[in-house]
Chain A
Amino acid sequence: MRPRGLWWVGVGVVALALPQVLPLYFTHLVLLTMIYGLSAMSLDVLAGYTGLTSFGHATYFGTAAYTVGILTTQHHLPPALAAAAGVGAAVLLAAAYGLLATRAVGVYFLIITLALGMGTWGLAYRWSSVTGGDNGLPGIPPLDLGLPWSMAEPRNLYYLVLAVFCVAAFLLYRLVHSPFGLTLRGIRESEGRMRMLGYNTWLHRYVAFVVAGGFAGVAGVLYAFYNRFVSPPDLHLAASAEAVLMVILGGAGTLFGPLAGAGIVVFLRNLVSAYTQRWMLILGVVFVLTVLYAPQGVAGGARALWARWRGHAPAPRPQAEPRKEPVAEP
């Protein structure tokens, strides 16, 4: 077997063994890491690969979670159906919001996604009769799919989340390494050139937006059934910003880096807050250090270290800006 395949088998064995050897508390943290990691990875498709930094990614995560909450607690739908509806709602919302947001790029895109996210948060916060308002929606049932294992038991839920995460991560991995994924990176680098090569770049950006929203929806559904409770902070701007933070910490455009970024955020929040209320301060320091000393994030830094350990210098990083010639003409 190739070393790469061996490596994956190793990761798989560790992931399967974790809940058996780790204390329950840490199983919870790994589970949360997978949920937030999936959301951050889907954002990476948009922010890292396509170059569209969305500050409203929690909107799709939260909408899926709310859909599950509303359908299970108020309409008593079976969990499996509510889960499908949750993903569907995220996709539909992304398809609608995407029409507005993908008309812009750069900082304008960022502002539009932020505004749309805040609007959706306002809806969750104020539309009390449906969303429970500030109180949120407690009492979401466990994700029982008719399997012999109860999903109220965190270790069982861990394996379900692990399975869903693996399938989703596999699909995202294939996406970014496919021709379509390459077109997204091309758009990030030079959209004008892409159009001249025959690409309807808007369509590619729009599809990336909807795909990212859909996978965030999958994460949101898992979150709703894990937490058994949704409330406005789940789709607040702060949650969206946290997703961006995970992507940058882990390394934008590395796909699995943001999973590490999610792990850092989840573990810091839960472990450090046991000792001090100022865990945000620690997170801030980690963030500043990352941006200063590993601008490519954890994944980029690890790659550079690996290359150095293997004895050859890392491949020369080209400048972000193409070389400009002095000759200019209107």
Chain B
Amino acid sequence: MSAVCLRTEQLRKHYGGLRAVDGVDLEVREGERRAVIGPNGAGKTTLFHLLSGEVPASGGRILLFGRDVTRLPSFRRAALGVGRTYQVTNLFPRLSVLENTLLATLGLRREKYDPFSPLAKHREPMEDARRLLEEFGLWEKRDWPIGSLSYGEQRQLEIILALAGRPRLLLLDEPTAGLSPAETQAVTQLIRGLDSRITVLLIEHDMDVAFQVAQRITVLHFGRVLAEGTVEEVRANPEVQAIYLGSGEL
């Protein structure tokens, strides 16, 4: 069995009296594709904020690649190999598509501190950006401002930015939110086609996507892990069915 990529121990985040994440134990192995599902307000996005380091934990521990990163700021976790996308598109709106991508390919390189030579002089980040944009069919639109892209293209760029740093752990927060069925299918195929060494943790409301992509599923409810297991186990779990019965999503 492969090594543990991510482990949390009794991870907690309390906002005053609200226990958004309330003692989550999670273990994700390298190369695993794990979906995190749960009703609205279950604490899925807060869990992602804790894992990426954007929100400090109230208690518990986070171990990444065997290392305690609980107190590490997000940019250091990025350097260790964590990439993430956002549920609400979080790009650089007044920069071009290429500039957005360059910021992502420069992020973990020393050239980002260069205050003198023009951007075009830096071959490697430029080539990486070109390769990524070509792969996603956005190279022709590289000089467009973000606002001129379609929503689906903006969601693609979200994923491009997360992939540019060659992450070992990829956190995808509802990558298909708001997409058309055809676009959703394309993104699903994209995630399935990712390098199998990349560990993927995915928040998804669309159960079809979650079941297609993930091998294992973790169900969060009121900040706690309600169930965890393979797709079939989770489907058959009566508690999970009870939560989802009202919404009719499962």
Contact = CB atoms under 8 A, between A and B. Distances in A.
A186 B96 CA distance: 11
A189 interface: yes
A201 B146 CA distance: 22
Contact of B93 (A182, A195, A200, A320): A320
Given A325-B87, A329-B45, A189 B92 contact: yes
Contact of A322 (B20, B91, B104): B91
B73 interface: yes
* Residue of A181, A316, A323 most packed against chain B (CB within 10 A): A323
Nearest to A316: B148
A197 B45 contact: no
* Residue of A183, A190, A192, A193 most packed against chain B (CB within 10 A): A193
A193 B115 contact: no
Chain A interface category by residue count: 35 or more
Contacts of A190: 90-93
Contact of A330 (B45, B83, B86, B117): B45
Contacts of B88: 322, 324-325, 327-328
A319 B94 CA distance: 8
B103 A194 contact: yes
B145 A316 contact: yes
B93 A321 contact: yes
Interface stretch (B105-113, B193-201, B224-232): B105-113
B234 interface: no
Contacts of A322: 88-91, 93, 146
Interface stretch (A81-89, A148-156, A172-180): A172-180
A203 to B, nearest CB: 9
B151 interface: yes
B108 A186 contact: no
Contacts of A200: 73, 75
B10 interface: no
A192 B75 CA distance: 10
A23 interface: no
B41 A329 contact: yes
Nearest to B20: A330
A316 B147 CA distance: 8
Contacts of B92: 185-186, 189-190, 193
A178 B115 contact: yes
Contact of B114 (A180, A199, A319, A327): A180
* Residue of A180, A194, A318 most packed against chain B (CB within 10 A): A318
Contacts of B83: 196
B191 interface: no
B178 A182 contact: no
Chain B interface category by residue count: 35 or more
A292 interface: no
A312 interface: no
A176 B118 CA distance: 9
A207 to B, nearest CB: 8
A13 interface: no
A310 interface: no
Given A198-B78, A199-B112, A327-B178, A183 B106 contact: yes
B165 interface: yes
B79 interface: yes
Nearest to A326: B178
Interface string B157-184: 0000100110000000010011000000
Contacts of B113: 179-180
A317 interface: yes
A199 B18 CA distance: 31
B114 A178 contact: yes
Contacts of B119: 177-179, 182
A281 B45 CA distance: 52
Contacts of A175: 115-116
B44 interface: yes
A199 B105 CA distance: 11
B58 to A, nearest CB: 14
Contact of A196 (B41, B54, B115): B54
B207 interface: no
Contacts of B91: 189-190, 193, 322
Contacts of B118: 174, 177-178
Interface string B30-47: 000000000011011110
Interface of B: 15, 18, 20, 40-41, 43-46, 52, 54, 73-75, 78-79, 83-84, 86-95, 99, 102-104, 106-108, 111-119, 122, 125, 145-148, 151, 154, 161, 164-165, 174, 177-178
Given A179-B102, A197-B107, A323-B89, 20 more contacts: A174-B117, A174-B118, A179-B112, A179-B119, A181-B115, A182-B99, A182-B102, A182-B103, A189-B94, A193-B92, A196-B74, A197-B75, A198-B79, A199-B107, A199-B112, A316-B148, A318-B93, A322-B93, A328-B88, A329-B87
Interface of A: 171, 174-175, 177-183, 185-186, 188-190, 192-201, 211, 315-325, 327-330
- The 3 residue pairs across chains A and B that have the minimum distance between CB atoms: A318-B147, A198-B107, A197-B107
13 contacts: A178-B116, A179-B113, A180-B113, A182-B95, A185-B94, A186-B103, A189-B91, A195-B73, A196-B52, A198-B79, A199-B112, A321-B93, A322-B90
